[in-house]
Structures are given as C-alpha cells and as structure tokens.
Chains A and B, each alone.
Chain A
C-alpha cells in the first residue's frame, strides 16, 4: 500500500475512533451480547474485492470470485452502487468500513454490525459449525492448499478448476440442519446414540435387575446397534457431498474407467464441503439476521443520541435506502425489521392483556374477561398509563435526584453516583477556579515534564484520574486546534497513543506549546475554566448520553414499543381469538388486581425484547416467516401468488391467491433448503454396477431438467466415475385444453367479463422418470407410480392453484 494511502486510511480511522466503544456500551445495555469486533477501514477496490471473496481476504483461486469482482466493480463505476456493510463471523468478527462513506454511515455500519455479531454468537444454527472456530484461518488454509496443488507440476491447473467447478454444482447438497461431521462418523454416531438412549431408558427403569441382566445384556445392545446401523445405511443421504466423499470415484478418460480419486481431489472435496457448511447458517437466517441488525442499529442511532445533528440527515437517508424495497419482491432488511417489530409489539401486548385479565373491576365488581374486555377497558387510558416515566425520559445532570425515585432496577447506580460526583464539581465555582489556576501553573512547567505528568502533579489532589486525564487530553486538543492540525468536526474523537496526540500528551512538549494553549484559552470564546468544566463533563456526559444512567430495564421502559405513536391502537386491535387464548392460560389468576392501574403497574416492559431474543436464538428464516407473517402483513404489502400454466403458446401467468397462507407458502418455498430442490443420494451401487442413484424429493414443483443433466455430466466425469441416475417427477399438462382456457380468458377480458375458473383447469399428470447418464449419452425410462411413491411421501405441495379450480379427474 502506498504511503499516502495508508495515511489517508489512518485519518479516516480517527474519525470513528471512540464510537465503537460507545456503541458497545449501549448495545450491552440493550441486552445484546456480541463478539469482539475488529473494524477495518478499507478503500473502494479492497471493499469490492473483499465482498467478492465473501468477506475474507484469501480464498482459493477460482474464476467465480473474478466474476463477482468484475460485476461489483462495474456496478460501483457505472451505477454508483456501494456496499453498505460487510461483516464476517469469525470471533473476533471482522467488519469493514469503506473510507469514503460519511461519518454517519460509518456509525451506522458500526451499530449495524453489533447486531449481526450478536446474532452470529447467539443464534443456534451457527453452533452447528462448532469445531471450526476460525473461519478466516480455515479459508486461508484452503487457499494455501489449492495454491500448492496449482504449483504442483504433476497436476494440470485446468483439471483443478474443472474439479472445483464440478463440486460447486452440487455444493448445495448438504444437510445444513446437522453438524458437518465426517461421513462415516455420521452413520456411526447416530446409531450409537440411539442405542445409548435406549440403554439409558432401560437402566433407569424399575425393571428387576435379573431381567436386565438376562434380557437387556450387552449382547442385546450389540444386536440393537447392528440393526439401527443397517437401517440407517439404507436411509437416503441428504449430505450428498459426504456420500460422494465416501463412495465417489473419478473418471479416467484415457482408459474409460473409474478410478480412485487422487489425494488432491479428495482434499478439495473435503475443503469445499466444509466451506459449504460454514456458509449455510448465514444463508438460512438472512431475513432474521438483517432484520435484527437493522432493528438494533435504528435503536442505537436514532433513539439514544448517538448521532449528531447533522448526521441525522445522513442517517435518515441511508436508512431510507436500506429499507426501500421498490422493485423487489421482498427486501430481507425490511421484511426482517417488520417482523421483529411485530414480535416485540405482540409480546408486549400479550403481557398487558394478561395483566388486564387479572383485574377485578372496582366499578362493576366484575372480573375482566374476554366477554366484557372491550366494555371495561379504556384503551386510551391504558396507553396513557403505560407512558414511560417522565423522570426517566429527562435523565441528565439536572435530574439526577429524580432518578433516585425510580425503581432500583431501572438505574445504573454506579454511573449515577459518578454523575453526582461530577456535578458536584461542576457546581463548585471555587474548585473550578482553583483548578484553572493550577492548570496555568501546570502549563508553565511544560519544559520539565509532559502535559499528563504536570496535570497529575498540580491537580492531583483535586480530582480523580479520569478527570485528570480528560483535562490533559483537552489541553492537547486545544493546542492542536489552534495549530489547525486538528479538526474537531467529530466530537467523539478520542486520540490515544500511537499518534501525534500521544506524543503531545505523554512526551516532551514542543517549545511554545504552553504559550499557544495559554493565549488560546485566554481568548473570549474559550477560558481555562470552561476547559475544566468540559473535561469534567466528558468523563461521563449524561446530558449527551442519558442512557449511561439506565439499565436494560430502564431502557425497556424508555423505549417501550406500545407507547410509540406509530403503535397506538395496537393493544385494542387484538383479535378475539388471541384474547381467548391468553385467557385460557390465565384462569388461575383472576381477581389478582383491584384496579386497572394496579395491574398496569405490574406490567413487565422487558417482555417484548426478551421474546425477540428468545426467537433470535432458536429460529431460522423458514420458521420465522412461518410463524410471524400474518394476513395483515400480506394485505399491507399487496402480496399475491402466481402460477405459470403451460399452454401451446407459452405460459399463462395466472394469479392464484391473495391469501396469507398461500403467500406464506410461496415465501417459505423460496426459503426452504436455500430455495433449491431437495436431492438425496439413495444408492451407491445402483443396478449392481456401482451406479449413483440420486432422487428428487418432489414437492409439487418440477425440476429444471436441462440444468440437472448438466450437473449429472459433471458428477459423472469428476466425482463418481460411473453411471449417474436421477429419479424425478415430471408434470404432463393437457396443453390443448390449457390453450383453449387461455383463449377463453383473453376473450372474457376483452368482453370485460369475469372468468369462472371453478373446475376448469385440467390437473397435470405426475409421471415418474429415471434419467441415466453413462458418460456419453442420456437415457430415460418411465417409472411406475409405486416406484416414485417414496419421493412424494412427505410431500408439501407448494402449488397455489385453489383446489376448486382443478377439473375433476
């Protein structure tokens, strides 16, 4: 890197210095638990390069990274696209900030990344990949090894590339719901643990010892284990990559026969499988993860005073950009954010309703229940009563005493005490004057010792170390400011060791430094007294960062979702069904409170955030969308589903539903198994000739057979070496019939008439097919219904054509 470049990036880094620490502080108060994060400021090209390499500095050589880079480069060059954020799950996580971004964008990314890091650390799907804790190191090693193979004169570079390409065509075929143990282990472990489970149950049972000895002896367990193992090996393998590792060969073109894979081939296969497992959790949780990070960065940035005034403009528009989903079916940031907010509100509402259902109404003497609920409860009153405590909202130097009256759990006692101490100093004119005078003395002795030493020496008996350091720092800043070497655009800058600031603070003062500071602080707009005050304030500036006085509970009170203006009316909008459901859980606690106020006082305002956390830990996108996409959500966004019905003239794109369940079904279809079909390995010795039998587990949607055949060719040549088979299911449409329907629909549209679809669409025949590739040709064979029954066994049909539209068979 050029020297100027390096300097430039260092300058840039100074601008965000200090901010990550503040962000960490508030993130923890909000209950987040992120990894440590290293931030890197990088230039444009490096950012594009890192993005192309999926966030890592070194990947194995392959043209696809070149492709991504090329595309990224063109996008930024011609379209002004920039990469919003780049963070890598690596503990410590690595986050990249682009140098030319505005200061508010940098803060935004720092905040956003906190959310991601929390997610990486706590979402359970990331645990599956437990044995490889250093992905960057792993990927770097893989790059190294592939480099070695490339350098090896006995291996053709093109052969390596072709082999990698072949593995990439099947890299989705893993079992992302299980840890990536080696193939053999997988089988053994499963049968072992099943046997162990049974053993445990039996041994802990009340069976007579003699029975245990004679019947459930070691022999019994051995047999049991053998049986389970046998059963398991007949189960199809979802981890096709492992299956290939176990039984795969490669095709030797010269003698036209299969041969064992070379060491380098086995090695690359193993590496790529590991990488596929490493990236799987991120692909399974995209919506949740982006939503989570967006939810928390908006809390960090907007609500907690982290952004400066001019940054708010910037922030607001970046934010508008991030969540703008024009022209997309759905944007993971928006969808995720909306769903998280919904969970928060829903849980908070549940808590309020639970409490309300425990009230015995003093006016009527009735227990509140789902029947009289709307009559007794005044929702405007409830919302007003739930408003956060005024005293808490006003937290700052002027209101410290008020905070004492708040519930113990809401207030950070340590910081409160510290703030009081600071305020005492700030209010004491004498001590400030005294300190100002002594600071002057300290300046006079600058030739003798460093600023820091002098300040400690002269003011040491007045203040504690934090204040002394702050004073020394501010003196240096004043010096730099007046020398115009230092710009104070960014109030959170804190210069520490290793730069000019450190030298001035701890080193020998340059000649004239004291005069410069002296004359500067003598000026009208700046006095030494003001400098002392500022220094004291900065130790814990609770006016700027009032959240430093609050705990998780305090913040939950302050940010309580149900009293935000945009959520007004949310409590009232609860459905009768949900109300009754809550009531059922609640029967035992009736008449616990004698007034609504009393019940509301007992509302736990942290419930929403706690529920979000719980869901964040356990769910993946499929389950997240499944549980929280609702009819309101679908209606609000005008979502609908379409199916393409083949006709002789092409496809008839028919709108099939606007129902939440159907839309959700399609969304889930796009998310399940990375939106790709489930292909399992069924046999390694098909037809007794070592054939690989793959099968598509049908879910109502056809395969793209053209692509599938291209994959089979590559699997044959590189990964299996022998015949490759694929069982699949085809849909046969009566196109003559559908064409007529289409024509009729067009006519009806022309006449402005409604088309009645009931009983009109001819159901396509589902036909089993076996494809075979022998290295030269493809063959196909029809299968009987029985032969493909298994493939349709646990079928969820993702087709959304309403039942009543199908013609009877």
Chain B
C-alpha cells in the first residue's frame, strides 16, 4: 500500500506531458524493461523521463568494455558497439519519434487508455463474493528441470549443487579415524555416526574403508570419547564456504511461472475471436487493442485473473496463449455459436459460477453462418452466467454482419439474461468509447 504522499507523486508523474507540463514532453521516452526479463518475448513498457543536465556527449565518452573470454585487440572494431540511435548527437531532441509512433505507441495505449478510463468511469466491477481457490500463474519463481537456457535460474541451480554437495559431504578423515577405535566394527561406527548426526555415509562404504585400515592401527583409540578428543569433526558448515562446488547438468533449474493457490476475488476472462478469412490484420489489431484495454482494467479490479482464449471459425479451439490467439487465421466459415459452446464447456468444467467471476468477450465482424446459429448463441449466452458479456464488432473489408445488431435487438427486448455490452470499433478512435460502452453495461440487469 503506497502512502498518500507517494500516490500524489506517482499521479503527477503520470500526468507529466499528458495533461500538464507540456514543457517536459520532449524528454519523455518510452522504454522497455523486458531485456532484464528471462524470457524476452514479453514487453514491459515504461515511461522514462529524465531532466536535461550538463553531460558529456555519449559517443565521445568512449567506453570500458569487458571481453567474453578475452579482450579484443586494439585496432579492432568493438564487437559490443554503441547502438546507432543512442549515438545520435541530438539526444535531447526527439524528432524521429513520430515515424515509429505506430508500433511503438501501441503498448502504451492500452495502459494509458486504461488509465484514462479508470478516471472516467467508475469501474465498480462487482465481485460476486465467491469462495474460490484458484490456480494462478505467479511470478517466475517456480522452477523446472527442463527449459531453455535463457530461463536458467542460476540461484536455484547453484542451490541444487550445494544441496548435492552437502548431501554427499562427509568428513572422510573423521570416518577413517572412527574406524580405528578399539573393539568397534563398522556397524558400531555407523550407529555412532548416526547418533552423533555425523553420518551421511553408507554402512557398505564404511566396511570398505575398514578393510583398508592397517591392523596395527585398529586400536588407536580406546573409545569414541578419546576419538573426539583427538580428531576434530569438520561439519559441513565449515566445508561449504571454502569448497569448490561443481555444477552439473542435473543441477540445472529453469524458471517457469509458479502456480499458487489463492482465495477469493478471482476472475476468469474469456476471449472469443472469429478467426475466419474476413478478419484481416487491421481487424485483428483493433480487436487486440480493445481486448487488451479491457484486460488491463479487469486486471486492476481483481486480485487473480485467469485469461482464456478461444478462436473459432465453424469449430472452436482453446488457444494456449494470447499470441496464438491473436495470430490464428483460417479460411473456414463462421459459426459464432461454436466459440460460445466451447466457452461454456470450459467454464462449466473448470470455472464454476459459484466460485468465479466471469467476463466473456466475443469479437468478430458480425458475420454469422445463419440466423439459427445466432439463436443458438443467445441460448448459450443465457445459460452461461457471467458478470458481464461483451461483444466487439469490427468492420471488415466485406462490410459488417448483423450479429451486433441482432444482439442489441435481443437486449432491448429484455431477452438477454446477463449484462451485455455491445461495441462497434471501426478505427482506433472507437476503442475507448467502445470499452466504456461494454463495461458500463455491467449492473444494468438485475439478477434474479
């Protein structure tokens, strides 16, 4: 929980260059933290803002490099050269920003769109007060034995190596000496070691050791007490800090998202997307932006969020990741009901309504196979209880279908059992109003 003081400072930072302090706008840069992340395919956009100071020209400073294995020869071209753009002298200016804006701006939009919406609509998403134990993907703290090298978790790998070292550790010298106690055979010694918690060695190994001891040495000590007086046992604590601990392949551990079980305040968000041929890149992009903005807002309101992705043409598939979801294409026909049928199956079996908040968002160009199929969809929507249903209709190159309009008709005639919001997104400007439209539908219908 951040303090009021910090809350204000964060707010004033977020506002800089947006609705105030135009003078600082030129110093705002968008950065990505993800190069510090073990898997590079996620983006962690961050707004960076540095005030100008008297500084050296970046390229003219030169640098100290650190060679991998060996340093390059003087006179070589530095293999880790300064990236071209950073070397640009006009580091204070930002003229080239505009060109890239299209791609670059993208991730910020969802975040910021959400930010704007948060203030605009009173997003009082209703927690149904469910008693829920949920599986949630946590941070990258769970560890697997297999994985890609980029996910190698050195901490845990090192730990495994130490654990193995410790489990195998025994003070061999002490063991040997123990076997020289008068009238004690290896079994006695084993018991003694066990009792003193100095074991970590098998009886068999002790027997082998015993066989190697000279006869005349066998009565070197009269008792275990005498042994202890003369031979110091070197506990593992002392050995570890100084030991060279070998790291082997079997020690390697890789990061994977941890699964944690948590209670209450859980939400599942189902995304259903028409992947048929009429949905082109532009349409998909608009859907992605709209869905992601919705996701950010829901993410904000609930503690544990599970995202499900379903694509469909005439049949539906549950996708593993958002990436697959947004990029899947097919040339088949469109049966919207297939997507909702899949959603119902998955929800009923894994996310029961008495334990989960549910949000179900569909998207497509509004084209459907038949009116009968649309009836089927309505039926499925009515039998799949959710906090909110939403449908995003985008205009496709072939024009738009009737599905959105049909839904509205059902809604206006009170034939939809659940809160349902419908939005038409034909270009980027429509995203925010559309998101608002959908979310504001929550709470319209009173549930029995």
Q: Interface residues, chain A, CB within 8 Å of chain B?
A: 43, 45-46, 48-49, 52-53, 58, 61-67, 69-71, 74-75, 77-81, 143, 158, 161-162, 165, 168-170, 172-173, 302-303, 305, 307-309, 312-313, 316-317, 320-321, 324, 329-330, 394, 398, 565, 637-644, 646, 650-658, 663, 666-667, 669-670, 676-677, 679, 696, 701-711, 714, 731, 745, 749, 754-755, 757, 798-800, 802
Contacts and interface: CB of A to CB of B under 8 A. Distances in A.
A317 B159 contact: yes
Q: How large is the interface on B (under 10, 10 to 19, 20 to 34, 35 or more residues)?
A: 35 or more
A397 B1 CA distance: 50
B48 to A, nearest CB: 8
Contact of B54 (A644, A656, A703): A703
Interface string B154-173: 11101100110010000000
B66 A638 contact: yes
Contact of A320 (B54, B154, B229, B240): B154
Residue of B21, B46, B77 most packed against chain A (CB within 10 A): B77
A99 to B, nearest CB: 13
Contact of A640 (B3, B44, B72): B72
Nearest to A709: B92
B258 to A, nearest CB: 10
B174 to A, nearest CB: 14
Q: DSSP majority for the B interface? A: mixed
Contacts of B44: 74, 78-79
A170 B52 CA distance: 9
B38 to A, nearest CB: 8
B56 interface: yes
Residue of B58, B69, B76, B154 most packed against chain A (CB within 10 A): B76
A552 B81 CA distance: 49
Interface stretch (B7-15, B279-287, B317-325, B411-419): B7-15
Nearest to B240: A312
Interface stretch (B83-91, B307-315, B360-368, B440-448): B83-91
Contacts of A711: 52-54
28 contacts: A45-B2, A49-B2, A49-B6, A63-B16, A66-B6, A74-B33, A74-B46, A169-B53, A172-B53, A172-B54, A173-B54, A312-B237, A320-B158, A394-B232, A639-B65, A644-B59, A654-B76, A655-B71, A663-B64, A677-B55, A703-B54, A704-B55, A704-B58, A704-B91, A704-B92, A710-B92, A745-B77, A799-B62
Interface of B: 1-3, 5-6, 8-14, 16, 20-21, 23-24, 27, 33-34, 36-37, 42, 44, 46-49, 51-78, 81-82, 84, 87, 89-93, 139-141, 154-156, 158-159, 162-163, 166, 229, 232, 235-237, 240-242
Contact of B9 (A66, A162, A710): A66
Given A312-B237, A642-B62, A706-B90, 14 more contacts: A71-B33, A317-B156, A565-B242, A638-B68, A640-B66, A640-B67, A644-B82, A655-B65, A655-B71, A657-B74, A676-B54, A703-B56, A707-B52, A708-B52
B241 A316 contact: yes
A565 B71 CA distance: 28
Contacts of B64: 329-330, 639-642, 663, 666-667, 670
Contacts of A641: 62-65
A679 B54 contact: yes
Can you list the 9 inter-chain pairs with the closest CB atoms, starting with the nearest? Answer: A66-B13, A638-B67, A66-B9, A710-B52, A653-B81, A706-B92, A644-B59, A66-B10, A63-B13
B67 A677 contact: no
A655 B76 CA distance: 5
B78 A642 contact: yes
B243 to A, nearest CB: 10
Contacts of B47: 67, 70
B236 to A, nearest CB: 6
Contacts of B156: 317
Given A74-B46, A320-B158, A640-B64, A656 B74 contact: yes
A75 B72 CA distance: 34
B46 A70 contact: yes
A798 B67 CA distance: 21
Contacts of A313: 159, 162-163, 166, 240
A417 B368 CA distance: 93
Nearest to A644: B59
B84 to A, nearest CB: 6
Nearest to B60: A702
Contacts of B16: 63
A329 B63 CA distance: 9
Contacts of A43: 1
Residue of B6, B44, B63 most packed against chain A (CB within 10 A): B6
Given A69-B2, A677-B55, A642 B241 contact: no
A390 to B, nearest CB: 10
A252 to B, nearest CB: 17
Contacts of A644: 59-60, 62, 82, 87
Given A49-B2, A66-B11, A639-B66, A305 B77 contact: no
B53 A707 contact: yes
Contacts of B55: 676-677, 703-704, 707-708
Contacts of B140: 80
Nearest to B245: A316
Nearest to A764: B60
A749 B75 CA distance: 11
A46 B156 CA distance: 27
A703 B57 CA distance: 5
B53 A653 contact: no
A77 B46 CA distance: 13
A696 B154 contact: no
A643 B242 contact: no
A78 B6 contact: no
B57 A655 contact: no
Contacts of B69: 638
A312 B73 CA distance: 42
B2 A642 contact: no
Contacts of A324: 154
A52 B66 CA distance: 30
